[in-house]
Chain A
């Protein structure tokens, strides 16, 4: 069975690069840009993992994670958060909201791939 990731990122060229990387790694990638519909999209797609930008139009990444964590069956869904804000306070807020891993921009492709593989393995699905 294929591995499936939902990517919510409003920067189209980052989306394109991550989509390419993950597809090469055997993932199917479902990419969206709007924060407002993200929870619904994730709920419907039932992915193995979510990659989420912090600053999104419509709804922030933190709000999305909080809503996900409040839903049955989504509490343990691995969420990798990408952000340009890398201060300790931002990390703490992300952890508190329920983010599984936090990655600051600009990141390397290897970092993204490693994080995705690790999170997937930790979730017991690898």
Chain B
């Protein structure tokens, strides 16, 4: 039905919106109710003076009744029909639909417009992800090197008689490419999981706080000698851009200060120098808890501890609250970490010291000596559930690591397919 033949439907729609009876409108317009009834059911054409009169009574422009406000609406409905990808038998009656059911038509059109907006958003985000220059460069490098290795290795393995000149050249290429692959895959994992660049961490309070600790080497001499308070250190720190980040950093520094007071640097250094790194003995010597000792050891400069040390702290949900990275032990940047970490073993047995030698995936992966324990955050009252946190000290160069426990960083980038702890599929294959 053509749009201008629906003038009657629009008059009826408008009248009903105003709550006016047909007889009332007919009277005001100077026509009979039966004639108005015919007009409203599109059985009589209407125009000229009568249309202007009815429009005046209904309080709208005559064109609203003759052309309708639905020109744009009809156009959107046509787009919706075209985009739906299914044949719409009543496409030729779209004007009638919009005229008779303008409310429903608007719902449909609004839905279509919203879908279009969401599609644009998805496309933009997807495009941004797809064209992330760092990610694209790393992935391209890895795949190109893998292609070269695969082709070269196949030639060496499958070609029976290979001239010495070609064989030597392919061996050299294979060696070059395997080195490149290890470097580029490390760069890729680093990008995905533990990007150390402070600039990329801006905006997220926990990441800003971690970047602040990283920028200070996780060691704060001013707290060691008492010349500054945690508040002093965060107050004018430009890397902490928001109140949330300052608050997180201040809380972590307060913990640091408390641990430093319990185990003064000089006395701790003497103890380690004399007896080595023995957290349980140190807890006894300084009369403090094992969690404090593990945190304190990770906060010592490398020259005092005699080696590098990493640390992770999580709450009872397993969420990592604090991370001090250590070379060779990948920690996820986002999302949950590997449930096989001794940190989580400790979490289910509070106050029990857990010590495991672990190794992360990779052919040249080193073993780590991990010491963990969980502690109650605060003594609960009767009937109140306790809140626990767990801490894990990560020391490279595990001793007696004959059979270290394999662990990952997070399922997404862990190649161990047959793992009982797996939560989601990996993007890597076994023995990547």
Chain A interface residues toward B at CB < 8 A = 11, 13-14, 16-18, 20-21, 24, 55, 82, 84-85, 87, 104-109, 112
Contacts and interface: CB of A to CB of B under 8 A. Distances in A.
Contact of A105 (B147, B158, B170): B147
Nearest to B177: A13
B140 interface: yes
A20 B143 contact: no
Contacts of A82: 147
A15 to B, nearest CB: 9
Nearest to A17: B151
A1 B178 CA distance: 39
Contacts of A112: 151
B175 to A, nearest CB: 10
A21 B166 CA distance: 11
Given A14-B147, A21-B155, 19 more contacts: A11-B144, A11-B145, A11-B147, A13-B177, A14-B151, A16-B152, A20-B155, A20-B166, A21-B151, A84-B139, A84-B147, A87-B130, A104-B143, A105-B146, A105-B147, A107-B147, A107-B151, A108-B151, A109-B155
Interface of B: 130, 139-140, 143-152, 154-155, 158-159, 166, 169-170, 173, 176-177
Contacts of B159: 24
A16 B151 CA distance: 9
15 contacts: A11-B144, A11-B148, A13-B148, A13-B152, A14-B148, A21-B155, A55-B140, A84-B139, A84-B143, A105-B147, A106-B146, A106-B147, A106-B150, A106-B151, A109-B155
A89 to B, nearest CB: 8
A24 B130 CA distance: 38
Interface centre among B140, B144, B152 (most CB of A within 10 A): B144
Contacts of A11: 144-145, 147-148
Given A13-B176, A84-B139, A18 B144 contact: no
Residue with the highest number of chain B CB atoms closer than 10 Å, among A13, A21, A106, A109: A13
B123 to A, nearest CB: 11
Nearest to B169: A16
A77 to B, nearest CB: 23
Contacts of A105: 143-144, 146-147
B129 to A, nearest CB: 11
Contacts of B170: 16-17, 20
B101 to A, nearest CB: 38
Give 10 nearest A-B pairs by CB, closest first: A17-B151, A84-B143, A105-B147, A106-B147, A13-B148, A106-B146, A13-B173, A106-B150, A84-B140, A105-B143
